[in-house]
Amino acid sequence: MKLFESPIQRRSLLVVAGATALVASMPRILRAASVDKDMRLAPAPGRVPLLGGNRPETDVWCYNSQVPGPEIRLHQGERLRVTVRDGLKQDTTVHWHGIRVPNAMDGAPYVTQPPIEPGASFVYEFTVPDAGTYWYHSHAHSSEQIGRGLSGPFIVEEPAPPAVDRDVVWLLGDYRLEPDASIAGGFDNPMEMSMAGRIGNTVTINGRVPETFAVRSGERIRLRLINGAPARIFGLEFRRHRPLVVALDGQPIAPHAPEGGRVILAPAQRIDLVLDMTGKPGSKATVADTFYKKLSYRLVDIAYTDEPPLRTTPVAPPAQLPRNTMPEPDVANARRHLVTLTGGMMSGAGMGGMMGGSGMGGMMGGSGMTRGSAMWAINGVAMPGDDMAHLKPALTLARGKSYILTIDNQTAWYHPIHLHGHSFRVITRNGESTKYREWRDTVLISPRERADIAFVADNPGDWMFHCHILDHQDGGMMAVMRVT
């Protein structure tokens, strides 16, 4: 059994441990008591106008009666306390995606905490070490809980944020709605689970099917994009505009135009853009999503107001954002591990013996397939569903050491792979050095692609490592990395 430490329990343990321990930890306790923001999140059923207009509302599961959940915004280095009370009919947790929190605050059910049961509460408390664009979401029954609305934006501001006229957050959602606007059931069905995942039919920006995005000519916008969709990958074209990418997954990068003019955003990834609104007053431009060739659509129209331009001389290009606090991995001396991704449909030999097991059998039989069946594996082991913490860690890493993980996607499908508790540099793809050696917490790996990621394993604990296509995660593409 693992001892689950909440801050409260730790304090009482210190008291019984004797006077010396108590005195030594006094400053820590005092500091822990002063938080900069103290808030509540109440995951519960709700009803929201996803479609807007006079179309019917949608029954969702959401935080504080809204989709997305309330924006959490702090300054770098501040401390947050969030009391989460479960108002759902099932267990839940909250994960602070991309934020390097202490392990006990990470919200991985059975691994870092017991799940929060209906009616029960859990207090998360941590300091935010790095600036950037992050998000929070449920980490229990992820496919259904996030798929029904349990996510929200989490923004950490730089000490001196770059000069822009507006800081705008777009949390992109994707729902599968029935004609009556209700959310379709059938989460974690084996057919979708073994392919691209549950891609919906209704894309939302901040919980609403968007009509237009109103802008003023001449203004500079920092647009923080968050992909909160369960499975959909976005490829956004800002037609007649030249967005510059300034951060990936919250981490600064040299400002540059996206490759091929398209902003690729896989589930759980974030991208900060600097967008200069160079159109004329009264004009319009389309933001299109063209990622899936046969499923291109207009996401939203940028609509210029009739106001005169905010400025007439162009603004200087944006400077690179100040770097965050991750230690630099020692790539030359790093220890190496191979991480294979296998499973799914049409993946050939990469499936190994796994698909001969219960997963495929159940699928072929058309029945007997229950949620959490093993369709996918990491290093040959499937971790379907949340209650799998008894499985051995896939890798045990020495605290403070540098590592390079070669993630080898042997499947026919895309996988956005997320490591908890750390950010890593993506240093090679298919053996070629990457141009920017970008920091990420979620790396999109194409079918049959291999990517090397490098990082210092500096955050002790058991950390989830999984695909963020949520039915792939539920279908087994999840593992634990232990840092000790």
Name the site residues for Cu ion (rule: CB under 5 A).
415, 467, 469, 472
H or E segment and range at residue 223: strand 220-227
Nearer to ligand C2O, 111 or 253 (CB): 111
CB 65, min distance to ligand C2O, A: 22
Cα distances from 134 to residues 208, 328, 404, in angstroms, run 20, 21, 24
Nearer to Cu ion, 148 or 415 (CB): 415
Site for ligand C2O, rule CB under 6 A: 95, 97, 137, 139, 268, 418, 420, 464, 466, 468
Q: Which does 415 bind (CB under 5 to 8 A by kind): ligand C2O, Cu ion, none?
A: Cu ion
Q: Which does 268 bind (CB under 5 to 8 A by kind): Cu ion, ligand C2O, none?
A: ligand C2O
Measured distance CA(171)–CA(225) in Å, rounded: 6
- Residue in the shown chain whose Cβ atom is closest to ligand C2O: 97
CB 227, min distance to ligand C2O, A: 10
Q: Which does 420 bind (CB under 5 to 8 A by kind): Cu ion, ligand C2O, none?
A: ligand C2O
Nearer to ligand C2O, 136 or 403 (CB): 136
- CB atoms inside a 10 Å sphere around CB 314: 10
Please tell me the total number of residues recorded for the chain in this structure.
484
CB 97, min distance to ligand C2O, A: 4
Nearer to ligand C2O, 420 or 450 (CB): 420
Measured distance CA(371)–CA(186) in Å, rounded: 10
Measured distance CA(114)–CA(105) in Å, rounded: 11
Q: Which does 220 bind (CB under 5 to 8 A by kind): Cu ion, ligand C2O, none?
A: none
CB 433, min distance to ligand C2O, A: 27
CA atoms within 13 A on the CB side of 175: 31
Nearer to ligand C2O, 288 or 407 (CB): 407
Q: Which does 440 bind (CB under 5 to 8 A by kind): ligand C2O, Cu ion, none?
A: none
* Distance of alpha carbon 419 from the chain centroid: 10
CA-based nearest residue to 315, from 221, 409, 187: 221
CB 371, min distance to ligand C2O, A: 17
CB 469, min distance to Cu ion, A: 4
Q: Which residues contact 234 (CB under 8 A, 6 or more apart)?
A: 172, 225, 227, 263, 264, 265, 266, 289, 291, 299
Q: In 17-128, which ranges are continuous DSSP H helix?
A: 19-24, 26-33
